[in-house]
């Protein structure tokens, strides 16, 4: 063991220290910590981001040049840094769901802002005043992807995988989740016991909609009558909005729909498809919508790219002519039906893979505003055509500062001005960073 001092935090939430002349990443440490470590391995990695972190960030330059990232085994903590706090969860340190519960809220909010600034700086986008982080909080995450795994005797472990491992952490609590979802973990484990074959796994997507919890269980199993009845009783006992099985020879099996799992916004009442993507934090979602509504003031014709089920569409003026596009056909169908129910007569929808078939300049012409919320890979192809367009304003929502900065560089080179950038901490206790940016064409 060697005593090292943590100098900074890497882009994935690991502490950074120097050991034998090389930079090493030390998990679950804080700046100012003095801790014993043992060099464990040097592996090709992603710059200290850790399991489940955002793609698109630039790895540590020294590590990348060396062909790998030095990682260590952590020993005794001798001195705690000023920003270290007690973790809120008993599973922290083993569960891969959270990476930074040991850091103060103030530190994390400022660190996330700095990460956005650094990503822009690496693309030569300087002089941008990144706003203070809009903060998240515990017990607010309303979507989760869990794994259930059976042992040889039929007992089930249910939770998240351990950091960098296939080992499953059997959750007894999860303080990051909405309480209505966290309370389902133990009964889900119980109802699945004996239902899965030995060593069989199932993926469980849990969403909290405005009308209740929506659960999708996905696996290769074919459910028998006992499993179907037990799951239906579980849905009834815990007042689920809907429970769906997916996979096996039966395809998608609706076990119980006690009421439609609906997302309700002014003029939009969308019944979410099973396992659909939701913004992780409803408070942060509302802040996104508030900022988009301000940016869309006076807009008559708007395009919503990567619209999903219409979370950001909902923020647009109900008098505006809106075109919503996404590659997910089920999400677009749900948005179309939801718009019809809400009488949003000027909303048009279409299924389109914008990664391979972006809108071209002639399709963008004549629109007042484009909003886009691409996946972590960003929207390189679409950003290239937007940079050549005459759209006066663009609102870009991103979950990956690295790819956002790449696309921002293209827009700026095309004549746009980046007028505001706000980090949004909807991935609380995670190094993941959401942001919302506004570009104007002078």
Residue 62 sits in a domain whose CATH number is 2.40.50.140
Q: Which of 14, 17, 70 is nearest to 42 (CA)?
A: 70
CATH of the domain at 233: 2.40.50.1070
Output the pTM of the full model.
0.92
Euclidean distance between CA atoms 438 and 398, whole angstroms: 12
104 occurs within a structural domain: no
Euclidean distance between CA atoms 325 and 336, whole angstroms: 11
For 373-409, write each residue's pLDDT tens digit. Answer: 999 999 999 999 999 999 999 999 999 999 999 999 9
For 292-316, write each residue's pLDDT tens digit. Answer: 999 999 999 999 999 999 999 999 9
- Residue ending a domain, among 228, 257, 286, is 257
89 occurs within a structural domain: no
Q: Average pLDDT in the 360-372 region?
A: 98
In sequence order, which residues have a C-beta less than 8 Å from that of residue 387 and are 6 or more positions away?
410, 411, 413, 414, 415, 416
96 occurs within a structural domain: no
For the chain, give the mean pLDDT: 92
The answer on 423 and 284 residing in a single domain is yes
For 79-137, write each residue's pLDDT tens digit. Answer: 999 999 999 999 999 999 999 999 999 999 999 999 999 999 999 999 999 999 999 99
CA trace torsion 54, 99, 126, 6 (10° rounding): -140
In sequence order, which residues have a C-beta less than 8 Å from that of residue 228 and are 6 or more positions away?
253, 255
Residue 174 among the catalytic residues: no
Euclidean distance between CA atoms 368 and 370, whole angstroms: 7
CB 397 within 8 A of CB 288: yes
Greatest CA separation found in the chain?
67
Q: Which of 329, 209, 334 is nearest to 261 (CA)?
A: 209
The answer on 60 and 44 residing in a single domain is yes
The answer on 198 and 287 residing in a single domain is no
Euclidean distance between CA atoms 254 and 244, whole angstroms: 5
For 325-357, write each residue's pLDDT tens digit. Answer: 999 999 999 999 999 887 788 899 999 999 999
270 occurs within a structural domain: no
CA 22 vs CA 3, 38, 40, 215, 430: distances in Å: 14, 13, 13, 46, 26
The answer on 235 and 171 residing in a single domain is yes
Q: Average pLDDT in the 405-417 region?
A: 98
pLDDT at 54 over 50: no
The answer on 124 and 180 residing in a single domain is no
The answer on 116 and 75 residing in a single domain is no
- Looking at residue 68, its pLDDT comes to 59
Task: Show the tokens assigned to 216.
Answer: 């999708």
| Neighbour order of strands in the sheet with 69-79 | 2-5, 34-43, 69-79, 22-26, 15-19, 8-9
Looking at the DSSP bridge assignments, the partners of residue 35 are: 4, 77
- Looking at residue 51, its pLDDT comes to 33
The answer on 133 and 147 residing in a single domain is no
Q: Which of 99, 98, 87 is nearest to 15 (CA)?
A: 99
- Residue ending a domain, among 83, 100, 119, is 83
The answer on 387 and 253 residing in a single domain is no
Of the candidates 89, 95, 98, 399, the residue annotated as catalytic is 399
For 12-46, write each residue's pLDDT tens digit. Answer: 999 999 998 899 999 999 999 999 999 876 655 44
Number of structural domains (the chain) is 3
The answer on 164 and 129 residing in a single domain is no
In this structure, what are the phi and psi dihedrals at residue 103, rounded to the nearest 5 degrees? -115, 145
210 occurs within a structural domain: yes
- Residue ending a domain, among 223, 257, 291, is 257
Return the residue matching tokens 């972190």: 53
The answer on 431 and 299 residing in a single domain is yes
The answer on 288 and 401 residing in a single domain is yes
The answer on 124 and 29 residing in a single domain is no
pLDDT at 268 over 80: yes
In sequence order, which residues have a C-beta less than 8 Å from that of residue 44 and are 6 or more positions away?
67, 68, 69
In sequence order, which residues have a C-beta less than 8 Å from that of residue 121 and are 6 or more positions away?
none
Q: Which domain holds residue 316?
A: 111-137+278-440
Task: Show the tokens assigned to 226.
Answer: 């006992």
């Amino acid at each position: 063991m060697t005593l090292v001092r943590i100098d900074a935090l890497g882009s994935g939430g690991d502490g950074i220290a120097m050991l034998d002349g090389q930079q090493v990443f030390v998990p679950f440490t804080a700046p100012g910590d003095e801790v014993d470590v043992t060099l464990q391995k040097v592996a090709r990695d992603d710059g200290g981001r850790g399991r489940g972190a955002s793609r698109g960030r630039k790895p540590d330059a020294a590590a990348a040049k060396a062909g790998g990232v030095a990682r260590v085994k952590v020993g005794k903590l001798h001195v705690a840094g000023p920003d270290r706090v007690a973790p809120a969860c008993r599973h922290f340190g083993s569960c891969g769901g959270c990476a930074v519960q040991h850091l103060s809220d103030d530190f994390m909010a400022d660190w996330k802002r700095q990460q956005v600034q650094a990503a822009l700086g690496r693309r030569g986008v300087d002089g941008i005043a990144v706003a203070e982080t809009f903060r998240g909080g515990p017990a607010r995450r309303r979507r989760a992807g869990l794994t259930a795994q059976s042992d040889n005797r039929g007992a089930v472990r249910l939770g998240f995988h351990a950091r960098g491992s296939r080992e499953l952490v059997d959750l007894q609590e999860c303080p990051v989740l909405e309480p209505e979802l966290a309370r389902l973990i133990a009964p889900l484990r119980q109802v699945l016991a004996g239902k899965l074959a030995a060593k069989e796994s199932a993926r469980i997507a849990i969403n909290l909609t405005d009308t209740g919890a929506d659960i999708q269980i996905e696996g290769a199993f074919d459910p028998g009558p006992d499993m179907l009845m037990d799951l239906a009783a579980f849905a009834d006992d815990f007042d689920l909005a809907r429970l769906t099985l997916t996979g096996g020879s039966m395809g998608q099996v609706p076990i119980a729909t006690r009421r439609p799992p609906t997302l309700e916004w002014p003029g939009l009442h969308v019944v979410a498809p099973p396992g659909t993507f939701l913004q992780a934090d409803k408070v942060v979602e509302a802040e996104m919508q508030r900022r988009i509504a301000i940016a869309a003031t006076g807009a008559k014709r708007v395009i919503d790219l990567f619209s999903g089920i219409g979370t950001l569409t909902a923020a647009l003026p109900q008098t505006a002519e809106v075109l919503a596009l996404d590659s997910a056909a089920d999400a677009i169908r749900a948005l179309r039906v939801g718009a019809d129910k809400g009488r949003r007569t000027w909303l048009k929808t279409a299924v389109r893979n914008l990664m391979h078939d972006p809108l071209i300049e002639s399709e963008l012409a004549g629109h007042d505003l484009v909003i886009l919320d691409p996946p972590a890979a960003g929207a390189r192809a679409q950003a290239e055509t937007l940079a050549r367009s005459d759209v006066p304003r663009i609102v870009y929502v991103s979950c990956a500062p690295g790819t956002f900065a790449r696309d921002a560089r293209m827009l700026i080179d095309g004549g746009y001005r980046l007028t505001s950038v706000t980090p949004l901490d909807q991935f609380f206790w995670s190094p993941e960073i959401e942001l919302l940016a506004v570009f104007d064409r002078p």
